[in-house]
Structure 1
């Protein structure tokens, strides 16, 4: 039986870690447990959750900053921000639908996994909003980024390093981050009936115009019907989001619609429809199907996304849709993960990152979930981890792309 710890204080977490290090036992580090199926399986002796270390520490709307304990539910953070007309600009994805998990996402988990959504390519990733951290390292020491300097890691940006480390370097206990005002209005321009290559060209033209597109996605016919019922016209949908002041959104939407009309029929979604659609794009609704069919998150150059999918379709069964102007491809394989084939094609198209988000247990044990690192980078990663967690007690089996 695996022992489960839920300390309610930083010192409680540090005490558990010190005991684990002394006893040479390993810890699975979790927040709300909503991303437990993401990445390679963690094989640990004990589980340590931060969910009881919760609460907003400080919030200064005028300075647009917030500090919160790592176990604070994301819903609590977003409710506090919404009450002041503010938001997390990086639009974090909720993994529960595609991973079929339960529980509550935590703000510490969001930053530990560097979770971002459709606005990522214009607003930056979660790590770009992170200003400060407190964490417990593998020796059970409490570290505050920017204050205490750890031996032999001088020059490392500890704040950015902890974001995306997936609990392999330390246990986040508190995070400080910047927020932005909520846009008062939003609309989505929809261009219907485009194939993947035509959609890539249309999105590139939209991004080249001074209309401040904050979301650019292409939903092929195979997935279009799985979004908000009755919202999108028939056929494949290429969708461009505009946000800002009401008059500005209306003017920019008119300009963008006229420009893109040469590609195909153009329609427009209102603010409520826009909010619903982009939440479902963020949470990858087409593949929240309750199955373990392999799901990949692939980051490539925007012009290469549709070429990757076309090449794969010649070799294997695959379904896909595109975010980030085509630079983020969500791929669902119909049978096997086909990791070697996928990563070979990604490399041939100029490189990128292919992350296995979901698969059966056997595949998750066998296939590196994150893009394999070059030997020099892998060596650097191991040196960094040795400084933060010398006994290798945190999340054994999980390889994080932090270097």
Structure 2
């Protein structure tokens, strides 16, 4: 749902109704639109059409801390939402990243952009992705129709779950105007175990053993020869789980980071601070955790650097190499920061998936005006 390149014209409807009218006009004339939230998720410079921003469709509709539900308009800044939740001791448990550092932008991340990109951070492997916390939404499709799906609480989410389609579609099926999300309490106690001087194969072994336990590891990442494991819980439980993990992983020695150091470390890992400040191409690669070591070695052979998240399920590669070579190594590779590379940002889909995707787009956007070519250029 985002592009970081300014267009010839900027359109910023102030309401859902105004947005519907605008898209209906573009549908009738088949004029394309580049849909943007804050322009902070995926760098795409090849899209055509005028930029349509949802920034003016902003504001929290309702927040019920007791029911742990939040409803906000799509253009609401993510920082504003996170501050409001933190004041009540709650958060978006899937911890979406702040990508402005790696993309070199100064836009404002919006909650609509988070949902449209299915943005999910290190805690995803324990609590699920953004789409798993999505209770409902409202959106305007490519005909200009206002549609809604889901409800305010989990028991009201019935029928066809359009949220699963829109979440991660990057604005190609519709323009989000409102989202309902589940919130969760912030666990007050946390620590991190750091295993230094390990290879990616050894890190994979550490992750496999730790994640097979009932100790609810909420982060498992690897970079620069260190495997990191995060534990979050109430005081006595956190200490018990920490000690059990240390015993399980003996004779390996671990550095134990306190709560403050843990917050700082995982914020940096989440936001990819180690890949900021450069224009080198940056790839987001999804793999089976068991294939992470071989994938990392193959990518490193291209001449770049890597980091690993989600216990091996997510590999970040920053470095040279033609897109074709990267995708030969890892089929599910998304070019997040182009660094001068041309071609599609998203990996080509299998033929069967392509047929399904095109069928969905014909239903929701028959004129093909919403972010045309973003997912298949």
Q: TM-score, normalised on structure 1?
A: 0.87
**Any runs of at least 4 consecutive aligned residues in structure 1 with deviations exceeding 4 A, and if so which?**
none
2:190 pairs with one of 159, 172, 186? 186
Structure 1 segment 222-241 matched on structure 2, within 5 A = 236-241=225-230
Q: Does the aligned pair in 1 maintain the 2:134–2:163 contact within 8 Å? A: yes
Q: Does the aligned pair in 2 maintain the 1:356–1:369 contact within 8 Å? A: yes
- Deviation, 1:146, is 5.0
Cα distance in structure 1, aligned partners of 2:351 and 2:165: 19
Q: TM-score, normalised on structure 2?
A: 0.92
Cα distance per residue 1:219-259 (max 9 Å; x no partner): 12xxxxxxxxxxxxxxx221100001011111211221232
Q: Which position in structure 2 is the counterpart of 1:167?
A: 171
Question: Aligned pair 1:9/2:15, yes or no?
Answer: yes
Structure 1 segment 4-403 matched on structure 2, within 5 A = 4-35=10-41, 37-39=42-44, 41-44=46-49, 46-146=50-150, 156-220=160-224, 236-263=225-252, 265-291=253-279, 293-314=280-301, 316-333=302-319, 335-336=320-321, 338-346=322-330, 353-361=332-340, 363-364=341-342, 366=343, 368-399=344-375
RMSD of the alignment, in Å?
1.9
Q: Does the aligned pair in 2 maintain the 1:39–1:370 contact within 8 Å? A: no
Cα distance in structure 2, aligned partners of 1:299 and 1:34: 20
Cα distance in structure 1, aligned partners of 2:45 and 2:359: 21
- Deviation, 1:343, is 2.4
| Gap regions ≥5 residues in structure 1 | 148-154, 221-235, 348-352
- Deviation, 1:372, is 1.2
- Deviation, 1:40, is 6.3
Q: Which position in structure 1 is the counterpart of 2:4?
A: none
Cα distance in structure 2, aligned partners of 1:33 and 1:369: 15
Q: Does the aligned pair in 2 maintain the 1:186–1:243 contact within 8 Å? A: yes
Cα distance in structure 1, aligned partners of 2:25 and 2:118: 28
Cα distance in structure 2, aligned partners of 1:115 and 1:124: 11
